[in-house]
Amino acid sequence: MLKHLRQSGTLIGLLGIVLFFALQLPDTFLTARNLLNVSQQISMLAVTAFTMTIVMVMGDFDLSVGSTASLAGIVAAVLFAAGWPVWAGVAAALAIGVVGGLLNGALVAYVGILPFIATLGTLTIFSGTAFLVSDGKTIFGRDIPPGFAGFARSGVTLTEGVTVPAMSIAAVLVLLVVYVTLEHTIYGRRLYAIGGNVHAAELAGLNVRRLRLSAFALTGLGAAMAGLMYASRVASANPTQGAGLMLDAIAAVFLGMTMGRQGEPHVMATLVGVLILGILDNGLTQMNVDSYVREILIGGIVVAAVAMSSYGRARG
Amino acid sequence: MDSLSLIGLSKAYGGVPALRDVTLHLAPGRVHALMGENGAGKSTLIKLIAGVVPADAMVVRRGATAVSLRNAADAAAAGFRFIHQELNIVPQLSVAENILLGHPSPRRFGVLVDWARMHDRARAALAFLGAAHIDVTRQAGDLGTGDRMLMRIASALVVEEGQAAPCLYVLDEPTAALTATESAKLFAVMSRLTAQGAAILYVSHRMEEVMAVCDDVTVLRDGAHAMAAPIAQTTQTAIIQTMTGRQQTAEPPTGPVVRGAVACDAIGVVSGRLRDISFTLQAGEVLGLAGLEEAGQGDLLRLLLGMGRVKSGQLRVLGGPAPTSPVQAWARGVAYVPRERRSEGLMLGMDVRCNTLLPHLGSFGILARKGPETVRTRDLADKVRLRYRAPDQTVRELSGGNQQKVIFARAIAGNPRLLLLEEPTRGVDVGARAEIHALIRGLSAQGCAVILASSDLPELLGLSHRVLIQQDGRQAALIDRAGLTADQLLARVYSPNPA
Ligand SMILES: Nc1ncnc2c1ncn2[C@@H]1O[C@H](COP(=O)(O)OP(=O)(O)OP(=O)(O)O)[C@@H](O)[C@H]1O
Ligand SMILES: [Mg+2]
């Protein structure tokens, strides 16, 4: 009973937050328009956090996702400016994400550097590269093709005035893919086994290095996708625009981990974490809470949730 | 000293009873054996009186006074000392720090650690145990399995200055990780402790040991009290009968090797500490590895698993070159049971199904298929007599011996052609041990080659066709099992090549 309470505590927290804003902002919060708006606002964080879950399942981290996102946006924009068609620029940017992820994976799995240090290093490398490629400038205006920027403004219209944004749909698709991969494939099971005990996984014949390498590549791919979504939404690219994603993504996974049976991450739980962060941000903004105060509040909530969960676990 | 009574101990995990109204009387100066099959509730009983798991019901009395045991500090204050079955050490700390962990460390000026005194006290505890060879300044993680156990035992022996001597020592399978010589040292210490008036509660699955060193016995069955008697008034057969509800039958000898293909061929192999390794293993043959602790048995098995590199000499495994990684080894039909079930074998937080099928998941396709996997798991679990609730129960919730069975089930799940075993029945009860031995014999009869490293000499002799004796990494002798007694084997372990 106590255990169930601990596991579902985070979910109850989410419902509490929704209820709170619904009461505080009766006219604006629980409207289809606002909720769809929230879903678009959080879609980039969602994609990053969902794919971050893949490496965190193995007990690893990727601190470089933010700068990977920035780099991907910059690369696409620079290629657009050079006259590449939209599909080619997007493909190249995604490829950059995969390559960055492979670099992280190689450093962690083959060279044997702790993920924290390896990805801290590549964070700087990717971000430096983004500045180098873009000359430190924001790329915008005519350099960004309307076909690319249009994606963020498009959507599927359900009824008059209710349009599900394409970005939200993209995030849901990523969620489903990651969910099936982690929970319903042998591959996912193996990643969880590595998270459970790397040494034992290796002795039991799992190809730990290759699995880690590929998982980091997927996280890099997700980060690049998020970077492209961001660039599309603001119709511009600058070398720091993904910077905020990393901490929020890790916080979302941590919030989700409070719901795991053994404290392990699951992507559906990460979704709850993303919703908590996204809804808090949206609601507090609407209530005109100062953005610094907002950061303090959100940070406090993350720490409190994780602390409560580990305290509960220690007590059994 | 007064005698201790543990009365009406009960504990259920999530509604499933693990211990039901068990009562036990421990007399000072006597060794009391606590026996029962894997999962019978022995460790649970111990955790209750150690105050690490809350009891549903429990009364503890020393003489006429009640002792309250709500947490570990209570138990320590009551003069109880514990060596738990699965307590891990802190590998980064020194041996001395590990031994004095949980005791206030000696100080200088109230704040600085008095290292000299700390080392002296740790040395004294080890010396008392006859284990003075262990360097107290070494990192605990560098110790071999036996030395780690001795270190943990030493930790329970530390008596703080000005404190009354402990009145109860509880040892949960201390000898499962010890060689015969190390065990003998432990028994000597136990008799000194009982001579000082302490009571000892002792858990072991090694019957001979229990019959030799214990004074009384209590048998648990399915969490309930099944029998209590002085050892002198009962027999090994009666105890086993009470534990298992079955008569113990003698194990049949391993059948002769049907000459077949060569599973493994080593000529003058040098690798790491291994030297002069030369043997030819037939398909279906069981090769025992003997030697003092860490004489290279583990290194040899891991070399065959693809964890080492051959420096010189020739090694062929299953008709090909030696595998270069465990991935390759498993793919080619090698299976491995590691020595340390918790650190090297199990994903404790994952379920029985995943732990059992882990190396073989690929054979179910790309998508996880719960149905067939569950069927397969059930089948394997029955084979090794696993006591568990369901295939999706987490392994952490299984008793120690049952965790061991999961690792064995994993190794035989893929119908291996070369089975590498390190202490395969450590902590496994008599009945399940015989069952696992029968499985090994069955695999051997079907042509699976087996290499078995075990400190359990009867096991080694009962299963092997030949025994390879190692000394400090070197192959010292390769002898036929036929006609070898345990005493002779032990003698050969110490001096492999008698004049
Ligand atoms: N944390 C737990 N949660 C649920 N069930 C548990 C837990 N710990 C133990 N059990 C169950 O309690 C029962 C008794 O376990 P216990 O560890 O006391 O057995 P044991 O007699 O020490 O066995 P072994 O000889 O294998 O060490 C087992 O069925 C086990 O699965
Ligand atoms: Mg036990």
Q: What DSSP string runs through A75-130?
A: HHHHHHHTT--HHHHHHHHHHHHHHHHHHHHIIIIII---HHHHHHHHHHHHHHHH
Q: Could A193 and B350 be called an inter-chain contact, meaning their C-beta atoms sit closer than 8 Å?
A: yes
> Degrees (nearest 5) of the Cα angle A120, A121, A126?
100
Beta bridge partners of B452: B288, B421
Tell me the nearest-neighbour CA distance from B244 into chain A, angstroms.
32
pLDDT of residue B250: 78
Ligand 1, atom 12, lies closest to the CA of: B18
Find the closest chain A residue to B346 by CA distance: A200
Kindly report which listed range (B91-95, B144-148, B330-334, B390-394) carries the lowest average pLDDT score.
B144-148
Return the residue matching tokens 């599309």.
A232
Instruction: Report whether B414 contacts B359 (CB < 8 A).
Output: yes
Highest mean pLDDT (candidates B123-137, B339-353, B357-371):
B339-353
**pLDDT > 90? residue A102:** yes
Q: Decide if B348 touches A, using CB distance below 8 A.
A: yes
* Distance of alpha carbon B444 from alpha carbon B319, whole angstroms: 18
Kindly report which listed range (A30-44, A142-156, A243-257, A290-304) carries the lowest average pLDDT score.
A290-304
Instruction: Report whether B140 contacts B93 (CB < 8 A).
Output: yes
Chain-centroid distance, C-alpha A88: 24
Q: How many A from CA of B400 to the centre of ligand 2?
A: 5
pLDDT of residue B14: 86
**pLDDT > 90? residue A263:** no
* Distance of alpha carbon A97 from alpha carbon A70, whole angstroms: 10
At A294, the amino acid letter reads R
* Distance of alpha carbon A250 from alpha carbon B75, whole angstroms: 41
Nearest ligand (C-alpha, residue B432): 1
**What is the DSSP-derived secondary structure letter of residue A59?**
T
Averaged pLDDT of chain A = 92
Averaged pLDDT of chain B = 90
pLDDT interval class at A62 (50, 70, 90): very high
* Distance of alpha carbon A211 from alpha carbon B483, whole angstroms: 50
Find the closest chain A residue to B301 by CA distance: A203
Q: Which of B382, B388, B335, B393 is nearest to B359 (CA)?
A: B335
Q: Decide if B349 touches A, using CB distance below 8 A.
A: yes
**What is the DSSP-derived secondary structure letter of residue B58?**
E
pLDDT interval class at B295 (50, 70, 90): confident
* Distance of alpha carbon A65 from alpha carbon A48, whole angstroms: 7
Q: Decide if B327 touches A, using CB distance below 8 A.
A: yes
Residues of A in contact with B11 (CB under 8 A): none
Instruction: Report whether B371 contacts B353 (CB < 8 A).
Output: no
Q: Over the stretch A272-302, which tens digit does the pLDDT of each residue have? A: 999 999 999 999 999 999 989 988 988 888 8
Burial B383-394 (b: 16+ CB within 10 A, else e): bbbbbbeebeeb
The secondary structure element, H or E, covering residue B302 is helix B297-304
Q: Decide if B336 touches A, using CB distance below 8 A.
A: yes
Cross-chain CB nearest to B368 (options A186, A196, A201) = A186
What percent of chain A has a predicted confidence (pLDDT) above 70?
97
Ligand 1, atom 5, lies closest to the CA of: B397
Q: Could B327 and A206 be called an inter-chain contact, meaning their C-beta atoms sit closer than 8 Å?
A: yes
pLDDT interval class at B481 (50, 70, 90): confident
pLDDT of residue A295: 87
Q: Over the stretch B243-261, which tens digit does the pLDDT of each residue have? A: 988 777 778 877 788 777 8
SS3 content of chain B, % helix, strand, coil (to 5): 35, 25, 35
Find the closest chain A residue to B354 by CA distance: A189
Ligand 1 near B398 CB (within 6 A): yes
How large is the greatest C-alpha to C-alpha distance in chain B, in angstroms?
73
What percent of chain A has a predicted confidence (pLDDT) above 90?
80
The secondary structure element, H or E, covering residue B460 is helix B457-463
Kindly report which listed range (A101-115, A227-241, A277-291, B128-142) carries the lowest average pLDDT score.
B128-142
Q: How many A from CA of A170 to the centre of ligand 2?
A: 51
Residues of A in contact with B349 (CB under 8 A): 196, 261-262, 264
Tell me the nearest-neighbour CA distance from B387 into chain A, angstroms.
22
Go through chain A and tell me how many residues it has. 316
Beta-carbon-side half-sphere exposure of residue A124 (alpha carbons within 13 Å): 5
**pLDDT > 70? residue A1:** no
Instruction: Report whether A74 contacts A130 (CB < 8 A).
Output: yes
Helices A32-41 + A43-56 axis angle, to 10: 50
Q: Could B346 and A187 be called an inter-chain contact, meaning their C-beta atoms sit closer than 8 Å?
A: no
Note if the pTM is more than 0.90. yes
Instruction: Report whether B117 contacts B106 (CB < 8 A).
Output: yes
pLDDT interval class at B107 (50, 70, 90): confident
Residues sharing a CB contact under 8 Å with residue B264, sequence separation 6 or more, in sequence order: B279, B280, B281, B304, B315, B316, B317, B318, B418, B449, B451
Average pLDDT on B347-352 reads 95
At A205, the amino acid letter reads G
pLDDT of residue B142: 87
Q: Could A204 and B331 be called an inter-chain contact, meaning their C-beta atoms sit closer than 8 Å?
A: no
CB atoms within 10 A of CB A22: 12
**pLDDT > 70? residue A6:** no
Residues of B in contact with A187 (CB under 8 A): 366
pLDDT of residue B91: 86
Residues whose Cβ atom is located within 5 A of ion ligand 2: B 43, 85, 399-400
pLDDT of residue B48: 95
